[in-house]
Amino acid sequence: MNLNQVTLPAVDIEVSAAFYRELGLLQIVRAPHYARFECPEGDATFSIHKVDHVPAGAQAVVYFECADLDAHVAVLQEKGVEFSQMPTDQSWLWREARLSDPSGNAICLYRAGENRKHPPWRINVP
């Protein structure tokens, strides 16, 4: 099994699509109710679908790993992207910056390197 796509709700497809293109994703599908993007690295895709409103309550967080997080955040800030948390070292050995998309979905840009799949506390799996 391979996770290949995550889809989030978007109130305004065009505004949200522009936001994700600004983050660096390549838009490969455009429809009035849907947009799909390729990540610049790897084989994963990401999409948004049109909704009248984003449901309230528990919220997922979508993580995009950046090879040079601080430089990427600086470029986005120059373009006017606002962050709720600037790059910060976390106790779980990741460096994270947080923001929200135009529909209020939580986004984390991060750098984990080897610690993403091989942290010091990784359990042994067959």
Assign domain 5-116 to its CATH architecture: Roll (3.10)
Residue 54 tokens, joined: 């984003």
Q: Where are the domains of the chain?
A: 5-116
Percent of the chain at pLDDT exceeding 90: 83
Q: What is the pLDDT of residues 70-83, one digit of tens each?
A: 999 999 999 999 99
Per-residue pLDDT reduced to its tens digit, 53-67: 988 876 889 999 999
Residue 50: beta bridge partners? 10
Give me the mean pLDDT over the 6-31 stretch: 96
> Is residue 115 within 8 Å of 123, Cβ to Cβ?
no
Residue indicated by tokens 């996770």: 3
